[in-house]
Structure 1
Amino acid sequence: MEKDIKRLLFKYKSLIGLILLCVVISFVTPRFLTVANILNVFTQVSVNAIIAVGMCFVILTGGIDLSVGSILAITGAVAATLVKSNTNVLVTIIVVLIIGGLIGLFNGFLVSKGKIQAFIVTLASMTIFRGVTYVYTNGTPISGLGSNFTFIGNGKLMGMPVPVILIVIVVLVAWYVLTQTRYGRYVYAVGGNEDSARLSGINTDKIKTLVYVIVGATSALSGIVVTSRIGSASPNAGSGFELDAIAAVVLGGTSLAGGEGSVIGTIIGAMIIGVLNNGLNLMNVSPFYQLIVKGFVILLAVILDKKNK
């Protein structure tokens, strides 16, 4: 009985951690549990959560993607350019998502067919596309975007912020793919044991390539949200976002070794980071100390994951 309780607690450790964190912060600062602040947390979390969903696919296969921040930056810059040239917003979104997917395809091809470690490939891509962004923008922000576009990052539908609605859509689609489709089962199989998956007839190269296409597309969508929210595309946008995305996936219980984890857990992990940041801001804690706290929280999650193995 005791073992069953411990197993249950460990299974839902991320959710329990999020609830406890919310309770503690609400006692420390009463401004936390207000409708306006909760919606603000969800909106702030949106960018990291969308990227983290794509990152979850990659990590489930035992890979990693360090280029998501650079993909966000270049796609955001392209989106701003298209909007300024009076391109239809829907067409802009489609074009930008395709560009993000193609960059992911580039990464995935090198990882799966080139047999190069994902860390090395995406580290190189991170540098390459950050440089491309600086060249494309000449190192200056692209501003003056129309209200139709900025509505994506700042507008509301039926009282809900548009970025929050986007999170729900992305999570539902990702959850369905991972839990209800053959491809989702293959993603877990490749992460669990790639050699066994290959011997079972699974096209492991195709599975691994597609997860990078997915994270490229989610990074591009986040690029649209960020650019829309601030009404400007900065060449520095997305710096460090890869670390927050990986942290959200790990905090959500996904194993860095692959084969174990979920999209729902990833969203809970993103919420933990968002709530922690929001709570520390409300308590006027210095951003420098916030980094230290966030680092220890991530380290604790990894240690707990290790103890469960």
Structure 2
Amino acid sequence: MATQDVNMEDARGTAHRKLPQEVNILLVLVGIAIVFEILGWVFQGQSFLANIDRLKIMILQVSVVGIIAVGVTQVIISGGIDLSSGSVVGAVAMVSMSFAQSAEYARAVYPALTDMPVIVPILIGLACGAVAGFINGWLIAYTKIPPFIATLGMMVAARGFAKWYTKGQPISFPTESYAMLGRGMTPVYIFIAVAVIFHIAMKYTRYGKFTYAIGANPQAARVSGINVERHIIKLYMVAAMLAALAGIVVAARGQTAQAGMGLMYELDAIAMAVIGGTSLAGGRGSIIGTSIGMVIFGVIISGFTFLRLDAYYQEMIKGVIIVAAVVVDTYRQKKRIKK
């Protein structure tokens, strides 16, 4: 009888066991998609989900910001924040495009000029991102400036650099190999590759374990032997290099670079991470959750456009959604503390 009672208690415990957070977020995505499908038939007389081209465009639109969100997620899990991502996108877009510009348009002045291999502008762009990330990380780790202030300063400085670099003039006409980085579904494939790599890194390597440990309790992480300062610099460098990669892709996709590129991308990336279950208090979140949050974000924006909702209404509702996600996260944190 005692054994039977224990088995019954185990069964009840299993029955009441919570679903993984990613499953809950996925259910939210399904619910939102169903709502837009119903509204589509009611107000537009057509299906929202059946249009494959619309869904492709939606995924393409959010995939570039999704690359940024993967890096931002890691920073938030560590207990930090990065507001400089969008400005890094603009600065790197200008720098990388200047090295990727087709020599055909400059041969009238420099007859011997040839196109640079595509790897050159990519590496230069990533190096610029690494420098920006190192500055962010060093300031936060060693001067103890709050991440909000340090990355806000970089946001302003990087945007100013983007404008100074070509005196505000756009740069166009990239080489064919560089333009290929933004064609078709290539940005989506790049996002998938980035998401898979960092999902594995966060879940199965010391890099991920250190990140979660620092976000949960930086002092305990330091006592356990983790070089917290060095790891923080790594995190901000990774985040800035992923923002740089997004800048390279967005410039290739539009085949032009302008200083204003990436405006507000940092807030969209943070929103994707928070909607995907990443806690602004640190120590909790996942790349899978952020990826689902990215799709939720894309479905909402695409759904509003499908229903022909005015752009300013879309912005207001987007703000409400971000605040609601933060409120839910705060509620979860309080509930966890009480337990």
TM-score where L is the length of structure 1: 0.94
Equivalent position of 1:16 in the other structure: 27
TM-superposed deviation, 1:5: 5.2
* Structure 1, unpaired ranges of 5+: 156-160
Equivalent position of 2:310 in the other structure: 286
Equivalent position of 2:297 in the other structure: 273
* Structure 2, unpaired ranges of 5+: 1-11, 41-46, 104-114, 334-339
Equivalent position of 1:182 in the other structure: 206
Equivalent position of 2:117 in the other structure: 88
CA distance in 1, matches of 2:284, 2:116: 42
CA distance in 2, matches of 1:243, 1:40: 21
Higher mean Cα deviation, 208-217 or 13-22?
Answer: 13-22
SS in 2 for 1:308: helix
Aligned amino acid, residue 66 of structure 1: L
Q: CA RMSD in A?
A: 1.7
Equivalent position of 1:255 in the other structure: 279
> What do residues 122-154 of structure 1 show as CA deviations (whole Å, max 9, x unaligned)?
000100110011000211211122332222112
Q: Which residue of 115, 124, 127 maps to 2:156?
A: 127
CA distance in 2, matches of 1:168, 1:263: 11
Given that residues 37 and 48 in structure 2 are in contact (C-alpha distance below 8 angstroms), is that contact kept between their aligned partners in structure 1? Answer: yes
TM-superposed deviation, 1:207: 1.0
CA distance in 2, matches of 1:146, 1:76: 14
Equivalent position of 2:267 in the other structure: 243
Given that residues 32 and 282 in structure 1 are in contact (C-alpha distance below 8 angstroms), is that contact kept between their aligned partners in structure 2? Answer: no
CA distance in 1, matches of 2:32, 2:180: 32
TM-superposed deviation, 1:10: 5.8
Q: Which of structures 1 and 2 has the bigger CA Rg?
A: 2
CA distance in 2, matches of 1:303, 1:2: 29
**How many residues are aligned here?**
304
1:112 matched to 2:112? The reply is: no
> What do residues 244-298 of structure 1 show as CA deviations (whole Å, max 9, x unaligned)?
0110110010110110010010111111111111111111111100011111112
Equivalent position of 1:36 in the other structure: 53
Identical-pair percentage: 37
TM-score where L is the length of structure 2: 0.86
Equivalent position of 1:74 in the other structure: 91
Higher mean Cα deviation, 5-14 or 124-133?
Answer: 5-14
Given that residues 69 and 273 in structure 2 are in contact (C-alpha distance below 8 angstroms), is that contact kept between their aligned partners in structure 1? Answer: yes
Aligned amino acid, residue 300 of structure 1: A
Given that residues 99 and 120 in structure 2 are in contact (C-alpha distance below 8 angstroms), is that contact kept between their aligned partners in structure 1? Answer: no
